[in-house]
């Protein structure tokens, strides 16, 4: 279905939830225990008016399920604006400077939402907040792909769609695809619709759907099979695999057709007991850069094993792996510097 307005998104997501519950309740992609609980707390947003949903970015961060809480940044922004704090003392700005050091300016992220002035600190023409820092960490790593043309981008578990939209604006793929539970697709589809007024947006509604050439395609997890023969250049997963059941991770890895995978995940989300060690699965299944030996070195003395963060590129074909300097990777949990 091609989306024409926010009410279209409301109706199709409502239908998809009913279809999943009636016909796909035992599908391998059914929500894990922690996500079953979280989804019940995220559904309130579908009851908002169309005018309110134009401000959907202001609702992200709720429970930290879909993004970072922006209230701390909001207060610091106002402290700087009225002179209670110097911008040079802002951790947001200093972290942004570190994350973008040595990275071409075209890969510098900025909040894109129309309400960005309310929830961001301005610096050098960019709008910075906690989520922008999180996305910048990943985009800085993905800038290692700067010599490649990525025609199709696919993200599993995109939250409110922030990273997908950053990637789309910076790398300009021909098509960006998102897989998620219908309840979460509502957030990412609305956010994308609001902030891309000229883009074409499609939501997959059945197993018989033929993927169009829309700029953005949103796929409910239980209909992932429609992508079996759809080749993508880059598959990205950030903080989502670690919240799944092990069989779900294996399903996505085997079902989807992709050349290169970028993963930014902990071994497991600390409340998720349906997977033992995600990164052991990934590092043993693919050729990766950095290699597993790099992580054994930096995490050797670390005790909270479930919380260890791994950022790496993975592929069956080593020729697809980019040339990187492992020590310059952003986002590793035990690092105090970037």
Distance from C-alpha of 70 to C-alpha of 195, rounded to nearest angstrom: 18
pLDDT at 336: 44
Q: Is 281 helix (H, G, I), strand (E, B) or coil?
A: helix
Residue 105 has pLDDT above 80, yes or no: yes
Beta pairing partners, 236: 155, 262
- pLDDT tens digit sequence for 135-186: 999 999 999 999 899 999 999 999 999 999 999 999 999 999 999 999 999 9
Residue 337 has pLDDT above 70, yes or no: no
pLDDT at 65: 82
Strands (E), 71-129: 121-123, 126-128
pLDDT at 280: 87
Q: What is the DSSP string of 289-325?
A: ES-HHHHHHHTTT---GGG-EEEEEEESSGGGSPP--
pLDDT band at 297 (very low <50, low <70, confident <90, very high): confident
Distance from C-alpha of 313 to C-alpha of 4, rounded to nearest angstrom: 36
- pLDDT tens digit sequence for 31-40: 999 999 999 8
The reported pTM is 0.94
Q: Count CA within 13 A, CB hemisphere, residue 146.
A: 12
Please say whether the beta carbons of 80 and 137 come within 8 A: no
Which of 17-26, 180-189, 233-242, 284-293 has the least mean pLDDT?
284-293
Provide the CATH number for the domain formed by 6-32+149-328 in this structure: 3.40.50.150
Residue 235 has pLDDT above 80, yes or no: yes
Torsions phi, psi for 153 (to 5 deg): -110, 135
pLDDT at 303: 60
pLDDT band at 122 (very low <50, low <70, confident <90, very high): very high
Convert 274-309 to b/e letters by CB count within 10 Å (16 or more is b).
bbebbbebbbeebebbbeeebbeebbeeeeeebebb
Kindly state the average pLDDT of the residues 265-289.
91
Residue 302 has pLDDT above 70, yes or no: no
Q: Which residue has the higher pLDDT, 268 or 220?
A: 220
């Amino acid at each position: 279905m091609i989306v024409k307005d926010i009410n279209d998104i409301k109706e199709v997501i409502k239908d998809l939830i009913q279809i999943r519950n009636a016909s796909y309740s035992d599908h391998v992609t059914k929500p894990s225990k922690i996500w079953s609980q979280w989804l019940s707390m995220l559904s309130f947003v579908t009851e908002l008016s169309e005018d309110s949903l134009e401000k959907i970015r202001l609702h992200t961060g709720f429970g930290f399920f879909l993004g970072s809480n922006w209230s701390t940044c909001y207060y610091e922004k106002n402290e700087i604006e009225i002179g209670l704090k110097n911008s040079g003392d802002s951790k947001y700005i200093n972290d942004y400077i570190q994350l973008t050091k040595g990275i071409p300016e075209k890969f510098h992220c900025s909040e894109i939402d129309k309400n960005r002035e309310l929830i961001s600190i301005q610096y050098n023409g960019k709008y910075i907040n906690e989520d922008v820092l999180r996305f910048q960490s990943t985009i800085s790593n993905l800038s290692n792909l700067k010599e490649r043309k990525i025609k199709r981008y696919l993200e599993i578990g995109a939250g409110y769609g922030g990273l997908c939209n950053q990637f789309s604006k910076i790398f300009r793929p021909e098509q960006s695809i998102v897989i998620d539970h219908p309840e979460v697709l509502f957030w990412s589809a609305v956010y994308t619709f609001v902030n891309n007024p000229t883009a074409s947006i499609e939501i997959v509604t059945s197993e018989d759907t033929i993927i169009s050439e829309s700029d953005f395609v949103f796929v409910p997890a239980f209909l992932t099979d429609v992508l079996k023969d759809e080749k993508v250049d880059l598959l990205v997963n950030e903080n989502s695999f670690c919240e799944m059941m092990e069989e779900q991770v294996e399903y996505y890895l085997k079902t989807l057709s992709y050349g290169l995978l970028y993963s930014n995940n902990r071994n497991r989300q600390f409340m998720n007991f349906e997977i033992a060690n995600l990164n052991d699965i990934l590092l043993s299944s693919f050729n990766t850069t950095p290699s597993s030996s790099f992580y054994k070195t930096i995490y050797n003395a670390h005790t909270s094993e479930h919380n260890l963060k791994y950022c790496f590129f993975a592929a069956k074909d080593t020729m697809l792996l980019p040339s990187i300097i492992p020590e310059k990777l952003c986002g590793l949990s035990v690092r105090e510097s970037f």
